[in-house]
Chains A and B, each alone.
Chain A
Amino acid sequence: MKARRLNRRTFLATGARIGMTGLALSGSSLLLQGFGFGDLGSTIEQASKLTNSATKSFTAVSKAMEDITPEQEYYIGRTIGAIVLNKYKPYEQETGNRYLNLLGQTLARFSDLPELFDSYHFLILDSAEINAFATPSGLVFVTRGMLQCCGHEDALAAVLAHEIGHIQLKHGLHSIEKDRITKATSILAIEGTKNFAKSDIANLTSTFEDSINDITSAMINNGYSRSFENAADAAAVTLLGRVGYNPAGLIDMLRIMSKQLKPGGLDFAKTHPSPESRIENLEKLVAETGAQTPAASQQRRFEAALKGV
């Protein structure tokens, strides 16, 4: 545990050497400058210099985490995807997955973040749990249990748009950040200008692993904060409107979900605010909130594609 923490601590310095991102680099050098001067002495000037530089460092660290390049986001996302697919089996049905990608990739094109290092990809998971996940790099997973909460294409579009909202708002990456800022500030104070030349890849991999753990524990085990969920719902409402779907589809889906969620379950029952509270929040954003009548052309393809799911 101690070794792992040290690795997390060396993260920024290691990142600087290997070249995390331009910002990470400048952040680290700021920190090193701040804590590197030899004689801390007792003058007020030096004390205030230190405080000043610590504040700057704090900002720089948090900025650096926000500024992970799309390329690095891609490797983080692939790995989270590989962990999800160890926990859940893919649902091997081509028609359903193809439809999910047609719908999801089309929606993503109209989002505020249409371009990713690779692209958005969607997959059905063979599980009765009511669950959905999105990695920072655009991999979106939806369980069969979740699909069963969707009575029409508007509702399914809403589920995918909510996940796209998490990606666009970088909620996954933010769950690394929280943990790291506090650690990173204490790290460099202790480690000072120590040279981290040895085994960069090993250190980086271990920090990589820790970052992945930060994200998966928020995404799979504990859930994001209520404000992140509300923000993803709001982003979904905007996106649905842009593409021409009825945002009230999200409310329809949540009404079914509220009947099907089992109290104490480890799925959305644990990781999301209750459907009722999400509906309450959505009613402020959506004009018409009654039950929706889906368009016939959409309903035909929706039923054909998800038959048997």
Chain B
Amino acid sequence: MGEQFSVQVRDGQVRTKPSFLGAVIATVHYGDRLAVVQSKESWVEVALPGSKQGWIHLSALTEKEIILNPNAQQVSQAASSDELALAGKGFNKQVEEQFRKQNSQANFAGVDKMETFRVSQEEMAQFLKAGDLKPQGGAA
């Protein structure tokens, strides 16, 4: 009871049922704290504002509290705690930029383009159906 998880991915989807085929009812963001209602295999039911509830996959969550813009005190607090993680620290955008300056031949534009390849939930459902694929168990 009273357990909380943090969203550890950039954007996470909360769904009507514990399945990727469930409709999305809310999008949560990196660092958001969510109160746990119950869990079922790899899915967690969480409370949303406005007394709504929905399901999110466990791999989008961490037990740690994520601090988005830590100050010096929080950095040192995190040093003695397993319960805190600091966002935007360590290997980050700044480090990537420095790396790019030193390695101009690396093709980041190609990666940016690759990241635009996205498949919607409807397209996935259609792909499964058209291929006579009937998934069972697992994450979905």
Contact = CB atoms under 8 A, between A and B. Distances in A.
A29 B128 CA distance: 50
Contacts of A121: 114-115, 117-118
A102 B57 contact: no
Contact of B79 (A16, A82, A110, A205): A16
B105 A22 contact: no
Interface stretch (A40-48, A83-91, A249-257): A83-91
Interface of A, helix, strand, loop or mixed by DSSP: helix
B9 A122 contact: no
B60 interface: yes
Nearest to A244: B133
Given A18-B89, A201-B95, A205-B99, A23 B139 contact: no
B73 interface: no
Interface stretch (A65-73, A182-190, A272-280): A65-73
Contacts of B48: none
Interface string B80-110: 1111111111111111101100110111101
A117 B96 CA distance: 16
The B contact surface, by secondary structure, is loop
Interface residues of A, number: 69
B135 A15 contact: no
B132 A102 contact: no
Contact of A110 (B84, B91, B96, B135): B135
A153 interface: yes
B28 to A, nearest CB: 11
B136 interface: yes
Given A22-B84, A22-B85, A81-B110, 20 more contacts: A21-B90, A24-B90, A25-B79, A25-B81, A69-B90, A71-B8, A71-B30, A76-B91, A78-B96, A82-B108, A82-B111, A102-B124, A106-B124, A110-B139, A111-B138, A112-B59, A112-B138, A123-B117, A204-B95, A297-B132
